[in-house]
Amino acid sequence: VALKRMLNFNVPPVKNSTGEPVWKVLIYDRFGQDIISPLLSVKELRDMGITLHLLLHSDRDAIPDVPAVYFVMPTEENIDRMCQDLRNQLYESYYLNFISAISRSKLEDIANAAIGANAVTQVAKVFDQYLNFITLEDDMFVLCNQNKELVSYRAINRPDITDTEMETIMDTIVDSLFCFFVTLGAIPIIRCSRGTAAEMVAVKLDKKLRENLRDARNSLFTGDTLGAGQFSFQRPLLVLVDRNIDLATPLHHTWTYQALVHDVLDFHLNRVNLEESTGMESSPTGARPKKKNKKSYDLTASDKFWQKHKGSPFPEVAESVQQELESYRAQEDEVKRLKSIMGIEGEDEGAISMLSDNTAKLTSAVSSLPELLEKKRLIDLHTNVATAVLEHIKSRKLDVYFEYEEKIMTKSTLDKSLLDMISDPDAGTPEDKMRLFLIYYISSAQAPSEIDLEQYKKALTDAGCDLAPLSYIKQWKAFTKMASAPTSYGNTTPKPLGLFSRVMNTGSQFVMEGVKNLVLKQQNLPVTRILDNLMEMKSNPETDDYRYFDPKMLRGSDSSVPRNKNPFQEAVVFVVGGGNYIEYQNLIDYIKAKQGKHVLYGCSELFNATQFIKQV
């Protein structure tokens, strides 16, 4: 909504106005591009009158009679470039929107340039948009994508980090969170764990919100913005969690659709990039093998299939794609049949009048064609994506890994020794084996003995694993207080339903033989459990000493005692140090069962296990 308002020159768009939109140009930097692209498609931009969208630092031609909307970070180089645009008189008028608040001195630089270029009257508006975060779903956001290594897990947890570096990282995170709450139009009540990076974020965010509220003239939380958010009557709870409370989940192999896509495919800012494998049989012997086509698909909120099934276990997704395909084929045949009837007897007037009821059928068939084509596009898209995921599952035995890790995390009996899993040459990549071992290491109540450890290390090395992450996890485990009581992950394991017999007997696209049909049981991961305690005001040793901040209180107090005793309706969970789709999905499943409650999930960056293991 905030973006649409900005693109409409910061006036809320009027519904059902008949006139053409005002044509304009959109100029953004990489940050702006990352914020807009998951939310608005090119077509939607065009409907709002954006004829051209260009990067700020590209070579742009002057378009003297068109207004330009800028959406950029207030960095030195961006400002220099904007001043240059003013001097070159590129556009008719300039609407300058900064993603994050611009400093006084930089504003003066722009003003000086405008005076120098005699363009003061053309700078129509300058706005701080406070949109420095990327929304991926209605209930999920991530901080930034461009310089994400600056706020990565590794950056925060480096042993040799200096205080000033840490301050900078924390300020970056706080700036984005502040933007997030300005856009929501709500002031949260903040809870965080003590002695972690999350606590530093909480202290700074509390201070920043507090200062903004005190400054009555410039407060961003007054009047028309407040209550414009969805959360008008009750304040949301913000739970700041540190990644270190749970390192097993980001390494875990997963079984739900969205998390699998993120784990095994190249899935980034809601776009998945696939290499299409071309058929082998078409190339004659001796010919060069065909190049693989790269295809990218957007998985967005408008994709109904994705919205419905992104949290489903993979076997269910395969089944649903198949059903969609069959129902589409039935409709397609119907259209063809009607057309042929019309085509044959279309000459004779009398025949057509007899066909009047068919005509009605045909009109409805024709009018539903665009809808059918869109359906077909989505079916093809998900067939391709699901097939690509399935190839990984089969070649790496991911179903076996998933089930085995769940058993480890829930302390169930194992049907096969860990050494056998590691030394099985057919199961998984070296990285899969490393992930499995690290989960075992993190979840075990006492660390394995040196003798056992040597045995595991040898097996891992033989399997081609890089042992670097182990030394970090070893230190981490020794260092965390959690070592005394490892985080429990509930005690239910997935139940296999027999191998896909029912689904896959008829000519399905998906050859699922040998893949286990595992069904998930809802069990709360650590992050979800912490949220549950704080949101429902349950007393629990895990969260009882969480600090409590209320930026609206005159004096900040260092207490763990919440003033508000009622359960919260709305909550935002933010993981400092990075998050993943497994946790996101777990929160969504948890909140579904709670009537009328909402939860949003945010993280400083979104990584899959491959990216995470590199940082460890």
How sure is the predictor about 91, in pLDDT bands with cuts at 50, 70 and 90? very high
Whether the CB-CB separation of 176 and 169 falls below 8 Å is answered with no
Query: Could you give the CA distance from residue 444 to residue 590 in angstroms, rounded to a whole number?
Result: 26
Query: Could you give the CA distance from residue 307 to residue 571 in angstroms, rounded to a whole number?
Result: 21
Mean pLDDT, the chain, as a whole number?
Answer: 82
Whether the CB-CB separation of 274 and 388 falls below 8 Å is answered with yes
Of 65-74, 312-321, 372-381, which range is least confident? Answer: 372-381
How sure is the predictor about 510, in pLDDT bands with cuts at 50, 70 and 90? low
The count of C-alpha atoms lying within 13 angstroms of the C-alpha of 532, restricted to the half-sphere facing its C-beta, is 18
**For residue range 154-166, what is the model confidence (pLDDT) as tens digits?**
888 888 889 999 9
CA distances from 334 to 329, 352, 366, 410, 578 (A): 9, 19, 11, 51, 50
The count of C-alpha atoms lying within 13 angstroms of the C-alpha of 399, restricted to the half-sphere facing its C-beta, is 25
Query: Could you give the CA distance from residue 102 to residue 309 in angstroms, rounded to a whole number?
Result: 41
Q: Is the dihedral of CA 280, 284, 287, 290 positive or negative?
A: negative
Query: Could you give the CA distance from residue 57 to residue 477 in angstroms, rounded to a whole number?
Result: 46
Question: Can you name the residues that pair with 135 across neighbouring β-strands?
Answer: 141
Whether 358 shows a pLDDT value over 80: the answer reads no
φ/ψ bin of 188: left (φ > 0), alpha (ψ from -120 to 50), beta (otherwise): beta
Whether 486 shows a pLDDT value over 50: the answer reads no
pLDDT the model gives residue 499:
38
pLDDT the model gives residue 227:
40
Q: Which residue has the higher pLDDT, 615 or 359?
A: 615
Average pLDDT over residues 596-612: 90
**For residue range 369-387, what is the model confidence (pLDDT) as tens digits?**
777 788 888 999 999 999 9
Cβ within 8 Å of residue 279, ≥6 positions away:
none
pLDDT the model gives residue 225:
46
Count of other CB atoms within 10 angstroms of residue 182: 23
Whether 498 shows a pLDDT value over 50: the answer reads no
Whether the CB-CB separation of 9 and 124 falls below 8 Å is answered with yes
Average pLDDT over residues 289-314: 84
pLDDT the model gives residue 135:
93
Query: Could you give the CA distance from residue 366 to residue 60 in angstroms, rounded to a whole number?
Result: 43
Whether 137 shows a pLDDT value over 80: the answer reads yes
Instruction: Quickly list DSSP for 224-265.
Output: TTTTTSS-SSSPPEEEEEEGGG-SSGGG----BHHHHHHHHS
How sure is the predictor about 357, in pLDDT bands with cuts at 50, 70 and 90? low
pLDDT the model gives residue 22:
86
Query: Could you give the CA distance from residue 458 to residue 217 in angstroms, rounded to a whole number?
Result: 66
Show the domains of the chain with their CATH numbers.
1-128 (3.40.50.2060), 132-246+525-615 (3.40.50.1910), 265-275+294-341+369-396 (3.90.830.10), 416-483 (no CATH)
CA distances from 78 to 68, 385, 535 (A): 15, 38, 42
Q: What is the pTM of this model?
A: 0.84
Tokens 């058929």 identify what position?
279
Query: Could you give the CA distance from residue 134 to residue 35 in angstroms, rounded to a whole number?
Result: 5
**For residue range 217-246, what is the model confidence (pLDDT) as tens digits?**
777 776 544 444 444 457 899 999 999 888
How sure is the predictor about 512, in pLDDT bands with cuts at 50, 70 and 90? low
Average pLDDT over residues 311-327: 91
Instruction: State CA 57 to chain mean position distance.
Output: 27
Instruction: Quickly list DSSP for 151-167.
Output: GSHHHHH-TT--HHHHH
Residue type, 364: S
Whether 72 shows a pLDDT value over 60: the answer reads yes
Query: Could you give the CA distance from residue 606 to residue 307 in angstroms, rounded to a whole number?
Result: 19
Q: Which residue has the higher pLDDT, 305 or 19?
A: 305
| Percent with pLDDT over 70 in the chain | 81
Average pLDDT over residues 519-525: 74
Whether 96 shows a pLDDT value over 90: the answer reads yes
pLDDT the model gives residue 284:
45
Whether 482 shows a pLDDT value over 60: the answer reads no
Cβ within 8 Å of residue 430, ≥6 positions away:
460, 463, 464, 465, 466
Whether the CB-CB separation of 236 and 209 falls below 8 Å is answered with no
Average pLDDT over residues 305-309: 92
Q: Which residue has the higher pLDDT, 219 or 578?
A: 578
Q: Which residue has the higher pLDDT, 342 or 429?
A: 429
| Percent with pLDDT over 90 in the chain | 40
Average pLDDT over residues 420-439: 89
Taking alpha carbons only, the member of 510, 514, 504, 513 closest to residue 379 is 510
Residue type, 160: D
- Calculate the CA dihedral of residues 490, 493, 608, 176 and round it to 10 degrees: -30
Cβ within 8 Å of residue 21, ≥6 positions away:
47, 48, 49
pLDDT the model gives residue 376:
86
pLDDT the model gives residue 558:
59
How sure is the predictor about 62, in pLDDT bands with cuts at 50, 70 and 90? very high
Whether 555 shows a pLDDT value over 70: the answer reads no
pLDDT the model gives residue 487:
52
Cβ within 8 Å of residue 204, ≥6 positions away:
170, 171, 174
Average pLDDT over residues 298-313: 90
Instruction: State CA 173 to chain mean position distance.
Output: 17
Average pLDDT over residues 458-479: 87
How sure is the predictor about 32, in pLDDT bands with cuts at 50, 70 and 90? very high
Instruction: Quickly list DSSP for 352-364.
Output: HHHTHHHHHHHHH
pLDDT the model gives residue 352:
47
Whether 280 shows a pLDDT value over 90: the answer reads no
Residue type, 270: N
